[in-house]
Amino acid sequence: MKHRSPAAVLLLPIITFGIYSLYCVVATKSEINDIVTEKVPTAWLLIVPIANFFFLWKYAAGAAEVTRGGLSQGAAFALALLLGPIGHAIIQSSYNKVAA
């Protein structure tokens, strides 16, 4: 996993009107797919209603596997779904612990 600043993951979506959040999810999805056995599906599902929940659930499963249980699938799903950029900053902090 690439080391990214959680502050950047939190603040850049505000400056870029949310575009950086999409970029960050797609970039980390690709990195997750390189590491885990169960692959995260295409990020195009983020723009499809209802299917975006499926994408976030699979993304959370990948996050749980990458962090080796440091972040559960349910917690990662709730963070990404309910807190948006704040949740992604917390998830990125967990990724940074693994990358170190």
Alpha-carbon distance of 66 to 82, in angstroms, equals 21
Predicted pLDDT at 1? 79
Rg (CA), the chain: 12
Q: Which two tokens stand for residue 100?
A: 């170190």
Do the beta carbons of residue 97 and residue 69 sit within 8 Å? no
10-57 pLDDT, tens digit per residue, is: 999 999 998 999 999 999 999 999 998 889 999 899 889 999 999 999
57-99 pLDDT, tens digit per residue, is: 999 999 999 999 899 999 999 999 999 899 999 999 999 998 8
Predicted pLDDT at 69? 84
Predicted pLDDT at 73? 95
Alpha-carbon distance of 52 to 2, in angstroms, equals 24
Instruction: Name the residue ranges covered by the structural domains of the chain.
Output: 6-99
Do the beta carbons of residue 67 and residue 95 sit within 8 Å? yes
